[in-house]
Structure 1
Amino acid sequence: MLERAGRAQFAITLHDGERPSELQWYFREESTLPVAIQRWELPPGGSEGMHAHPPGAEALEEIYVLLDGAAVMTVDGERFDLGPGDAVIARAGTRHDLVNPGPSPASVLVVWGQPGTAMDWTRYRTGRASRDAAERETGGHVAGGPR
C-alpha cells in the first residue's frame, strides 16, 4: 500500500505553539503498529509549544527526527540544536518543545505512542549491526540496549 506525500495533510497549532504547522499522519487507519507516524512541517519561527505527556494512562513517548531544515529541541531544560538526520527522544513525563529558528521550513518525522516493553531487535540483522556500531563508538556495552 502506498501513501503519497500530502495525502490528508492538515494545518494545526500544536500544544499552544507558535504558528500552525502542516501535518501528515501516515497510515492512520491502515497500520496496526502501536505508534503514530507523522511528518511535520514547521514554518520559520514555528514551534510545538512546551508541554509534557504525564505518566499513566495518557503517557506518550515521542521520537523526533529532523529531515530537513534546522530545529531546536528542549527536553527538561536541556537544549539540542538539530541538523538533518539528528533525532531526540522525549520520554513520558518530560517537558519538551520543538522550535524552528531557521529562515526556511523544518521537516520533522515524529513517531509517538504509549511506552511499553521494547522488542529485542538483536535477532534481526539490522538490529545486531546497529548495536555493534554503537558499541564500537562507545568502546563497549550500550546502556539500555539488549544484549
Structure 2
Amino acid sequence: MRERAGRARFAITLHGGERPSEVQWYFREQSTLPVAIQRWELPPGGSEGMHAHPPGAEALEEVYVLLEGAAVMTVDGERFDLGPGDAVLAPPGTQHDLVNPGPAPASVLVVWGPPGTAMDWASFRTGRASRDAAERDAAAQGTGE
C-alpha cells in the first residue's frame, strides 16, 4: 500500500499557533497502529502553539522529527534548536510548542498517540543495533546511559 505525497493534504491552525500549517495524515484509515503519522509543513513564522496533552484518558505522546528547514521546539521551558534529522519527544502533560523561525518552510514528521508500553525491539536486528549504538554513544560521553 502506498500513499502519495500531498494526498488529502489540508491547512489547519493548530493549538492557537501562528499561521496555518499544511498537514498530511498518512494511512489515516488503513493503518491499525495506535499512532497518527503526519507530515506538517510550517510556513516561515508559523507555529503549532504552546499547549499540553494532559495525562489521563486523552493523554498523547508526540515525537517530532525535522525533515527540512529549521525549527525551534520548546518543551516545559527547555528550548531545542532543530536541524534536519533532529527529533524531540513531548511526553504527556508537557507544555510544548514548535516554531519555524527560518525564511523557508519547515517540514516535520509528527508521530503521536496514547502512551503505552513499548514493545521490546531488541530481538530485531535494528533494535539490537540501535541499543548497541546508544550504549556506545553513552560510554563515549561517560554518561553510562
TM over 0.5: yes
Q: 1:93 aligned to 2:93?
A: yes
Task: Report the aligned-residue RMSD.
Answer: 1.2
Alignment of 1:15-30 (within 5 A): 15-30=15-30
Residue segments in structure 2 that go unaligned for 5+ positions in a row: none
The answer to whether the 8 Å contact 1:134/1:142 transfers is: no
Residue in 2 aligned with 1:77? 77
Alignment partners' CA distance in 1, 2:84 and 2:110: 14
Partner amino acid for 1:48? E
Deviation at 1:141, TM superposition (A): 8.7
Q: Distance in 1 between matches of 2:94 and 2:124?
A: 31
Q: Is residue 110 from structure 1 mapped to residue 113 from structure 2 by the alignment?
A: no
User: Cα deviations across residues 13-58 of structure 1 (Å, max 9, x unaligned)?
Assistant: 0000000000000000000000000000000000000000000000
- Residues 1-147 of structure 1 mapped to structure 2, 5 A cutoff: 1-139=1-139, 143=145
TM-score (norm 2): 0.96
Contact 1:131 1:142 survives alignment (8 Å): no
Q: 1:111 to 1:130 in 2, by over 3 A?
A: same
Q: Determine the C-alpha separation between the residues in 2 that align with 1:115 and 1:142.
A: 26
Residues in 2 aligned to 1:131 and 1:105: alpha-carbon distance in whole angstroms? 33
CA distance in 2: counterparts of 1:88 and 1:101, whole angstroms: 17
The SS at the match of 1:38 is: strand
Letter paired with 2:75: V
| Contact kept in structure 2, 1:60 and 1:114, CA below 8 Å | yes
Quote the Cα distance in structure 1 between the aligned partners of 2:48 and 2:92. Answer: 16
SS at match of 1:74: strand
Report % sequence identity.
85
**Deviation at residue 142 of structure 1 after TM alignment:** 6.7
Question: Structure 1 stretches of 5 or more lacking a match?
Answer: none
